[in-house]
Amino acid sequence: MSSIVSVALAGLLSIQAAEADRLTSADVDAIEQAVTDVHPDPFTRIGETEWRDEGDRLRTLADEAPDREVAVALMRWVARLGDGHTNLEPSGLPEFARWYPVRFTEFADGVFITAAQGPALDYSGARVIAIGGVPAAEAGRQQATLQGADNMFGALEERYLLSNAGVMEALGLADADGGLPLTLELDGARVEAVVEPVTSRWEFDWRFWGEFVGPPVSDSYRDWHAGFNGE
């Protein structure tokens, strides 16, 4: 397996960190180098010493822990810069090429499934009470620590990582087989469900397609059924 980590910095650069049989401290070095070389002002939200000290801890973790755990830790590290245009997206790691065929969106009155397809089609439009036994809003906050945001609105806007099986497994919200346990409110009834992941692609740009389109588990946005009127 070749491990590749790409990081988009201030919308300017996509790099490939060290390729190896697994993630190592060299990947941490490459990300740190990219941040300091390319980002115009990376340490406005977090002190440089604090951020670099965290990098030192991650070098040890990278040489000891499984790829999935390391990748999520690196995502959180980059997100701590507090820049909505500076995020790390894991690619080349099989765990992160698996997606649940649902899209989660958080509104003022809760988290909802705004798009679904395949075996999860019946859950389109459902209000999500819990994800992996954790209140849906709390699950959203946990995944929000893995992506940069300029402000609170930005932190609430994106919930796309809730649809990624590798992320949910690393956060302890998926079950041992990768299934995502959900507690839903659907047509006035409480429903317990488990959504299984689909192995597909390492695409993350689908989050920009609108709340009625979900992860890259099919080749057409027309395969998605919206949570409103089932269109």
pLDDT at 50: 97
pLDDT at 230: 60
pLDDT at 160: 92
How would you class 127 by CB atoms within 10 Å of its CB: exposed for 0-12, middle for 13-18, buried for 19 or more? middle
Is 48 within 8 Å of 71 (Cβ atoms)? no
pTM for the predicted model, two decimal places: 0.89
pLDDT at 157: 72
Give the residue ranges of the chain where pLDDT is below 70.
Answer: 1-21, 229-231
pLDDT at 184: 98
pLDDT at 74: 94
